[in-house]
Amino acid sequence: MAAAAVHGRRRRLLLLLAALLHLLLVVPVPPVQAARVTALIVFGDSTVDAGNNNVIPTVARSNFPPYGRNFPPEGRASGRFSDGRLATDFYSEALGLGRAFVPAYLDPHYGIRDFAIGVCFASAGSGLDVATSRVLRVIPLWKQLDMFREYMSRLDDHLGATEAHAVVAGAVYAVSIGTNDFIENYFALTTTRFLEFTPGEYTDYLVGLARGFLAELYSLGARKIGFTGLAPMGCLPLERARALGRCAEEYNAAARAFNAALVGMVRELGEQLPGSDIRVAEVYDFFEDMVRDPGRHGFARADVGCCGTGTYEMGYACGAWAAAPAGTCPDADRYVFWDAVHPTERASRLVADHLMNTTFGRFA
């Protein structure tokens, strides 16, 4: 009798386990939903300006050939300092926002419906330091924030307050700025900053400005923010030409010092802002490897740009102001740099792939 009872309980247990297994196999389990990225919002300088400078009175423009010759679908000088798309355009595509580029906020061809999934406030020639933006009379970072506030108001009107708030909170913010503060301002002696600060003091000053900007952006509702560190600016063709073909190591040292200070500041700030996810997109080592060993990345040249001689031409010198049209290389994909400062579309794609893997893709 006891043995029969034990056998019966065992049989019932086996039947119960079989039923549970059947349920696991036939009943669909909903996947874990990742936080949705609602939009890509961009601040910065010419590394990410999608054409805002086209409509302001400045010489820092590129809305003319040969710029944009590979911009889809048929080649258009959009105002990007490239032969095609920028890293942020590739972020938009990779984040699944349904568009392969980020439009400029001041571009009259786009409106708030377009900007609801991505918008660029960046201005070529701008910097963290307002004195930098005055050199070429471009849009300073504080004004870019004002444009963002206006955008938020327009988004409220377009979507309603609740949905607009969700867009702002769920967006990824890409910030790329700081190089001009050194190469166009401090080291260029175009303002008095070189008299007011040592290089180290100026770095601390800039990182303090970056901290204030990030804190203000957070106060406006931003939560997922990627701040791109500086690349080895001493290896830009423009700077190499001045250094007789070598990378200007003083400039590279300044970039590394800025990046180290930026990482420390972002770590500290993130601990003070509840719910924030602020990351430094570290690009220095990856880009340095591209310029010092271009062949390993499929490039033929990294010492000069594709446009003209590749040593000084950018902006109007690359096209509109040239006495004759500045010649460009036949295949920009073989060059790391499009002009004497800015990368080609292919180089930007490689940088974007790297930073999506290390930084921006982790917000998705």
Identify the segments of the chain with pLDDT beneath 50. 1-2, 5-6, 13-14, 16-34, 323-325
CA pair distance 205, 83, nearest whole angstrom: 34
Q: How far is CA 319 from CA 46, 315, 346, in A?
A: 17, 7, 21
CA pair distance 360, 115, nearest whole angstrom: 19
Residue reference for tokens 């786009």: 110
- Tens digits of residue pLDDT in 101-157: 999 999 999 999 999 999 999 999 999 999 999 999 999 999 999 999 999 999 999
Tokens representing 306 are 């594709």
Task: Give the rounded distance of the alpha carbon of 224 from its chain centre.
Answer: 13
CA pair distance 211, 317, nearest whole angstrom: 35
Strands ordered across the beta sheet of 224-228: 118-120, 40-44, 172-176, 224-228, 277-281
pTM over 0.85: yes
- What pLDDT shows up at residue 36? 84
Please tell me the CATH superfamily of domain 35-233+249-295, with its number.
SGNH hydrolase (3.40.50.1110)
Element (H, E) at 262: helix 249-272
Give residue limits of the domains in the chain: 35-233+249-295
- What pLDDT shows up at residue 35? 55
The SS3 of residue 303 is strand
* CB atoms closer than 10 angstroms to residue 324: 5
Q: Which residues are catalytic?
A: 46, 339, 342
Residue reference for tokens 């560190």: 229
